[in-house]
Amino acid sequence: MRIERFVTEYGAPEAGIGTATPRLSWTRSGGAGEQTAVELRLRTSDGGTGTARLGGPEQVLVAWPFRPLRSRERVQVQVRVEAGGAWSPWSDPLAIEAGLLAPDDVVARLVSPRDVGGLDGGAVVLARDLELDGDVVDARLYVTAHGVYDAWVGGRRVGDHHLDPGWTAYDARLRYQTFDVTEHLRGRRSTRLAVGLGNGWYRGQLTWTLQRDSYGDRLALLAQLEITYADGRRATVATDGSWRAGTTGVLADDLYAGQATDLRLPLVPDAAADGPVDVLDTDPGRLVAPTGPPVREVETVPARAVLASPSGAQLVDFGQNVVGWTRLRVDGARGDVVTVRHAEVLERGELGVRPLRAATATDTYVLAGGEQVLEPRYTFHGFRYAEVTGAEVTPADADAVVVSSDLRRTGWFECSEPDVNRLHENVVRGMRGNFLDVPTDCPQRDERLGWTGDIQVFAPTASFLFDVGGFLGSWLQDLAAEQRPDGGVPYVVPDVVGELRGPGPDGGVQTPAAGWADAAVHVPWTLYERYGDVGVLERQYDSMRAWVEKERALAGESLVWDTGFQFGDWLDPDAPPDDSAAVKADPAVVATAYLARSSHLLARAAEVLGREADAERYARLSDDVGRAFRAAYVDADGTVRSDCQTVYALALAWDLLDTDARRRGAGERLATLVREAGFHVSTGFLGTPVVLDALCVAGHPDLAHEMLLTRTVPSWLYPVTMGATTIWERWDSMLPDGTINPSTMTSFNHYAYGAVADWLHRSVAGIAPAAPGYREIRVRPLVTGHLTSASARLDSPYGPVRVAWRLDGGRFELDLDVPPGTVAHLDLPLDGPVRTVGPGTHHVAGDRVPRS
């Protein structure tokens, strides 16, 4: 028996954790029996020690058992557990370092260039020469910016992050990062701290309006360098009026437009800084430490081919749709200009830039002469193809640098159908590209926003594939910060489209949209369900409740939400290309279903938190809304108003029907609609995540598999047959003839329809949470004969869960790994009742018994 993984919170950040009482989690391997006791021991950097002994089986997000940490404090913690009467060895030490935990810890001030770095200027450098008064034995750099930054000490890059400090609701929450720069300073007597600033999200173009200064018109830096000398003396160098500013060879930078770089001019860290700075008003109270991983280079994809377009353009094909930038190796004369344009697809052999709308996605370089590596610093693009002019390149000269929030992969899936495996790979790649500091809708056009509806439907899939607890936990804090005083939730978080909100019943204020605003309830519940995180419910509870109260107010006394603007079942495949909201499903049916569901989830959250009065109140509200839903929209035979796949799917999957006749009638009607559609998908953003579950609830898992395996448009596998390597925004983003959908809103990297992967994990492979954090696991693969095998692995909070089943004629076999601390409930297509098994490896086999 041994401890395998021992982490704080969700395992990030590496330094500068933002809480004095970090929760602890561990997994173990081997050993018999349930964990019955835990010992933890702590050692501080000054030699202090502490011990704690806990009883019971808890091992996920366990409350900090020692005194609270102080700002900057560094400790090491070890854990061992007792199970089956035996103790494990002590774990390896876990290093924990606190960040700046109180506003008074921040002495630095935001400083901004006075004479350079205006809206029409390029990236700037802010710098300070350092004189070191002794041998440095320890140094930490705390840094953030208005804009995006890259820091350098002594000409050496600090860290491996990109686009720090990321994108948050800046007015309320500005992340800072903590870096160990001891080695940058060791052995030096003088050096230079230089930080480059680009526009990023703070001051770059955002939304289709191309607004340039959504948060402010001045770039600014806050940096605090804390040094410890060998003799114990300490010194702090902080941004103030003594810092200097200058221009760089980055002449223009923008997330949408790209970057223009003159390599004849110095870049950070070599750029001169001799201009003055202004000290800006600074509120240290809005500084927060990261809770999720930074954006990093996560993959390098070599070019697959260099093509010639019909017009003679030179096109580099990377073979897959990625997010990041092109890295080129060129050898050119001084003054030569190399231009790199990006796009996701080709149309008639040329770069397909129309879906980018106003995002030009172009990087330009003026060469200094000789061999050079070309890549930008302050932008990113969504692309498979790059058009290069100004230099001839071969595949060996080009790489696609893939960047993403560096999330830990936790989930895998495979089955006997190669196209379904490719579909799943596309879901993973699309998530990687769109989880770049915030969960965005798309990574390529003039949008790239944190649409609440997209992540509301995709969170269950995301939380299986990657460890997104810290990432989405941070985003939820931004959601709460952007939430209106009346509980309304904006369409995007962070919210930069406020001026585009539609009129509401209270005179010009946005009417929130069902399915989008409901992310305030559904996403926290998903994180609790998948990670066992009660803390996220505690932190978000006021936000959850405020939204449900707003939702209830919008419905009025009738409890039927039939007023105001709705996105509805957005991008229903039958909607015309120029009107994505012209859907089959009645928006009021969808909105009222969401009110019932969110009330239900809020009641369950209240119950978890011990808020008994609220639990009763919102359970009653959910029941009342269900009755109103049925009275307004459901006939006695189960027919639901607007009679389309989505309304039946919501009613069945969310248990909104009260009689066997209604449930049976709705299920059969859904089955009929699916057959009449030739097993094609006929749902949009809100119906798609639940339609296959609804068919299974109705006793038609065979039809769910038929839908999954359909290959003509609209279907999940149609894009696969067209060569897609990510999930598309529309079922037909590319038409069968290879041309791009005529809509002005067409993306080839949009994860929402990838929500089907959650069904693959739960219902095809058969791994589902039966208790929060997978402490209990439901293993119930739906084996219909359409697939002959499926497997999945999940690195759950308790350890790896593995399921693999195969069908050979009429014989079914399943192999299962259950981690210590959990049990699995097996509901298999075999004779006999559901049975429960404990930790270990299990093999089950027998003659398959078909079931609905």
The catalytic residue positions are: 447, 729
Retrieve residue 415's tokens.
Answer: 């089955």
Sort 231 into a burial class: Cβ within 10 Å, 0-12 / 13-18 / 19+: exposed
What span, in angstroms and rounded, lies between the C-alpha atoms of 825 and 847?
Answer: 19
Q: SS3 letters for 35-71?
A: EEEEEEEEEECCCCEEEEEEECCCCCCECCCCCCCCC
Helix or strand holding residue 141 (H, E): strand 136-146
Beta strands in 418-504 (DSSP E): 435-436, 438-439
Tell me if 363 sits within 8 A of 261, measured CB to CB: yes
What span, in angstroms and rounded, lies between the C-alpha atoms of 312 and 668?
Answer: 56
**Is the bond leading into 13 cis (omega within 30 degrees of zero)?**
yes
324: left (phi over 0), alpha (psi -120 to 50) or beta: left
Please name the amino acid found at residue 430: G
Question: Which phi and psi angles does 193 have, rounded to 5°?
Answer: -100, 115
Q: How many CB atoms lie within 10 A of CB 553?
A: 14
Tell me if 34 sits within 8 A of 83, measured CB to CB: yes
Q: How many CB atoms lie within 10 A of CB 274?
A: 8
CA-nearest of 196, 195, 19, 2 to 101 is 19
How distant is the alpha carbon of residue 402 from its chain centre?
15
CA dihedral angle for residue 605, residue 692, residue 818, residue 63, rounded to 10 degrees: -20
CA-nearest of 565, 713, 590, 697 to 642 is 590
Tell me if 383 sits within 8 A of 351, measured CB to CB: no
Helices (H), 186-341: 200-203
DSSP SS3 for 665:
helix
Gap between the terminal Cα atoms of the chain: 41
CA-nearest of 259, 295, 293 to 403 is 295
CA-nearest of 750, 765, 831 to 801 is 765
